[in-house]
Structure 1
Amino acid sequence: MDIELLKNLVDYGVIGLLGLMSFIALWFWVERVLFYKTLDISKYNTKEALEIDVTNNINIISTFGSNAPYIGLLGTVFGIIITFYVMGQSGDLDAKMIMTSLALALKATAMGLLVAIPSIIFYNHLSRRIEVILAKWDIYQKEKLAN
């Protein structure tokens, strides 16, 4: 396999996957926020049914937040392997080429962090909203029983 093709596959594959993960995490966060705004807790007879509805899709956001750095790191490792392979094949130890290649390999790790940080923020925001919704349901049930 051509090394340039492999390099492009690693670059575009990892960056593309991380971009897709970022879009999906943002999509699910927006979907959940909009769902919570229209949620009517009085329509739920059991807390479990409410909990099932309010926690839908947040595990995806958490998974992306926790795994994006590893995907980015994998891209960086592949980039470094390709850099060393090219250096070994060419026999050229040009410092400029080495530093440029290694710097470009690190972009995958940076992208992984750019996906992970907002995803974890989204997840934590939704987790707190879920806690509040479930507490409001408990309060609603107590008030319903008191009346």
Structure 2
Amino acid sequence: MEILNFLKDNVEIGIIVVLGFMGFLVVVYTFERLFFYAKVNIKSYKNADELEIALTKNLTTLYIIYSNAPYVGLLGTVAGIMITFYDMGMAGGVDAKAVMVGMSLALKATAIGLLVAIPTLMIYNAFSRKVDILMTRYSSL
């Protein structure tokens, strides 16, 4: 019972904080990569492997975020739905208003997860394409 009350009070905040941190990392790494790609001099690298390592730095983090943000949001949704069902069971009756409010709050976590994941996927794909272009330019030198 105490665990459920703790979850009820904190799961939404916890999920939003995690997703907010993931979004913050996306912004930081996006600007870092943009500045790096704008000033990179591919002629200064000794070999293609060294260049590829420099070009793909932090892209793995973006990949991890875009592939996992929806799951973090889904975790919040599942926890919210469980809490809603528990509250309904403890109340002994079904109040449509309470169910709808509980479900809408639970689904907010999934929406935020998708809000983080979709732009991150687009950013990751754009950067992957930029890496391909720069690597092709390096090989044609």
Q: Provide the alpha-carbon RMSD of the alignment.
A: 1.1
Give the structure-2-normalised TM-score.
0.95
Matches within 5 A, 1:14-25: 14-25=15-26
Aligned residues: 140
Q: Can you list the C-alpha shifts for 1:13-37, whole angstroms capped at 9, x where unaligned?
A: 1111011101101211110110011
**Corresponding position of 2:57:** 56
Deviation at 1:2, TM superposition (A): 6.0
Matches within 5 A, 1:1-147: 1=2, 3-140=4-141
Deviation at 1:95, TM superposition (A): 0.6
Deviation at 1:99, TM superposition (A): 0.7
Alpha carbons 1:26, 1:119 under 8 Å: kept: no
- What SS class does the counterpart of residue 94 from structure 2 fall into? coil
- What SS class does the counterpart of residue 106 from structure 1 fall into? helix
- What SS class does the counterpart of residue 140 from structure 2 fall into? helix
- Of the two, which has the highest radius of gyration? 1
The residue type paired with residue 128 of structure 2 is: S
The residue type paired with residue 104 of structure 2 is: A
Q: Can you list the C-alpha shifts for 1:74-133, whole angstroms capped at 9, x where unaligned?
A: 110000000011111121311111111111100000001000001101100100110111
The residue type paired with residue 94 of structure 1 is: D
Cα distance in 2 for partners of 1:90, 1:112 equals 31
Query: Which consecutive unaligned segments of at least 5 residues does structure 2 have?
Result: none
Give the structure-1-normalised TM-score.
0.91
Deviation at 1:8, TM superposition (A): 2.6
The residue type paired with residue 46 of structure 2 is: N
